Amino acid sequence: MSESDPNATTELTGQAVIQGYLKTLDASPGVYRMLNGKGEVLYVGKARNLRARVSNYARPSGHSARIARMIFETASMMFLTTRTEVEALLLEQNLIKQLKPRYNVLMRDDKSFPNILISKTHAFPQLKKHRGKRSEKGSYFGPFASAGAVNRTLNQLQKVFLLRNCTDAMFESRTRPCLQHQIKRCAAPCVGKVDAQGYAALVADAERFLQGKTTDVQANLAAEMAKASDAMEFERAAALRDRIKALTQVQQAQGINPRGVAEADVVALHLEGGQACVQVFFIRANQSWGNRDFYPRTGAGAEEAEILTAFLTQFYDDKEPPRLILLSHAVEDEDLVVQALSERAGRKVELAVPLRGEKAELVENAARNARESLARKMAEGATQNKLLAGLAEAFDLDRPPARIEVYDNAHIQGTNAVGGMIVAGPEGFVKSQYRKFNIKSEAGANSDDFGMMKEVLTRRFERLIKEDPERKSEMWPDLLLIDGGAGQVSAVAGIMAELGVDDVPFIGVAKGVDRDHGKEEFHRMGERPFALPRNDPVLYFVQRLRDEAHRWANGAHVAKRAKAVGVTPLDDIPGVGATRKRALLAHFGSAKAVSRAGLSDLMAVDGISEAMAHVIYDYFNVRG
């Protein structure tokens, strides 16, 4: 890698700086970085021939306005050669995601997509939603565009195929059918209502359906219904009729069901006013499994081909591409992108821009969705920017905040205490940046709201100072909103002073004297509290922010409390895992009964040896 001192070339113009590097470059493929006078990365690019690509930037004319601005700001460059251009492409996109240069196209939403998993770790497989690495043994189907799309499909699949969704632990502990069986969504294999062979047939039908073989499944169900009716097994025939009806509803709910496209992602881009929306529709097994919209940063004015190229390589960086990707626009270096995606998938991947037929209709539908989504986004953005400007005026801020962090705590008499942080900005709530803080100090147990806030803010800003001391990232907030009045504001002032952070403004949001929603008072350090008019849009905006923080913190608290319900003293006994815990509770009925049991009673439990019985007995009776 060749790199230079950014300060050594600041007196030269952009072209002169770039020209100076040409004599050190050859025709190797690789990646280059353009930096400004502060050492900040402006742009990351890849090249089949580094010398040829960089020489283009050294030309005095012929550049778009975006590239001309970038060249003008360039004070130094860095280079890294690779063996192939594909390696350069993959390295380029990794560096873009890591460094987030201003002039590159950047995909900002990088969440994983859910799948449906028929788990094969048990004799009676479980049907469930799955995210992340496919490490569990079973059959995976997806991706689905959202959790909602998966949940809707799972709901219908249970009606049709009656597969269990309970955990293995719950399955083993059942002595009678649960509610799922009573509402005809489970065959109840846990209590022997269906044998292993019959359940395996249900699993096979579900897998065939998820593979797109719906006609076969429906024909088999119809044949079984006719056979049961002929045998005058009318109850079984009625159950099969209900399953056929549910299957028909599933097929109708799928929306777009292309006949000629078995597996594809449909990717359509709409670009307007420097803003872009990319719609991705997932088609698997001739069924539409939902769509998701993305709003990539366009790198200060990139065109459609560059945006789609960057989107595809970043989007499939950690996802397996399908066999076919239908596009609204051609991409740059199509052969290179195909090669990179094919290597990622371990098989051939095809890119196509269809002009007629069913595939073109699929792309047009996705493009229409992209166009409509971007129009809504731009309208919402204009409103949001107006509210942020109003917020800056109301709170005497230097400029509209780009990142607002709102904090709240939740607990019940000190139990399961949790702190919550939400983030909002010009694009609304940034849910990927939300954080939960399990309160670790005594402040939680003591119901000390000031102490809990101190712990949360200290952990948040100590990490921020450690990871980004020079504040180059977008993670530093421009405004903190705290749920509370003068006391909370004073406490926060002390915390921030201890941390050495004196330039982040913070406001306390407190209910009025009569606790009336709409009479909030705002507190700033060293100033009198003030209120906003009841019909002020900024007041409604702050209320939404505060309510969202309250919802987030409460949700974290409820989840923590629900998890704690299943905790018993048995969890702390060395050697007592999930299996022994279930055996003890099944035998004695409760943890309290286990604590009172004698040695002989403990040894009577399956899986509890004499040595383990002594461990359990001593835990409850010999602790000092």
Of 57, 49, 97, 56, nearest to 76 by C-alpha is 57
CATH number of 404-556: 3.30.420.340
- The DSSP output letter for 9 is S
Strand segments (E) across 232-334? 264-272, 275-284, 287-294, 324-327
Residues whose CB falls within 8 Å of the CB of residue 403, separated by 6 or more in sequence, listed in order: 423, 424, 425, 430, 474, 475, 476, 477, 478, 479
Residue 8: its pLDDT value, please?
44
In the structure, how many helices (H) and strands (E) does the chain have?
21, 19
Q: Where are the domains of the chain?
A: 2-99, 115-253, 264-375, 404-556, 569-621
> Are 264-375 and 404-556 equal in CATH topology?
yes
- Is domain 2-99 annotated with CATH 3.40.50.450? no
- Whether 264 contacts 325, CB under 8 Å: yes
Radius of gyration of the chain measured on its C-alpha atoms: 30
- Is domain 264-375 annotated with CATH 3.30.565.10? no
Of 55, 17, 12, nearest to 34 by C-alpha is 17
| Rounded mean pLDDT for each run of 10 residues along the chain, 624 residues in total | 41 80 92 92 95 92 90 93 94 92 87 89 92 88 86 84 88 87 90 92 87 72 79 75 69 61 94 92 87 90 93 91 96 94 93 94 95 90 92 93 92 75 91 88 72 90 89 89 89 91 91 62 89 89 91 82 66 81 81 84 88 86 58
Give the pTM: 0.72
CATH number of 569-621: 1.10.150.20
Residues whose CB falls within 8 Å of the CB of residue 544, separated by 6 or more in sequence, listed in order: none
Query: 545: left (phi > 0), else alpha (psi -120 to 50), else beta?
Result: alpha
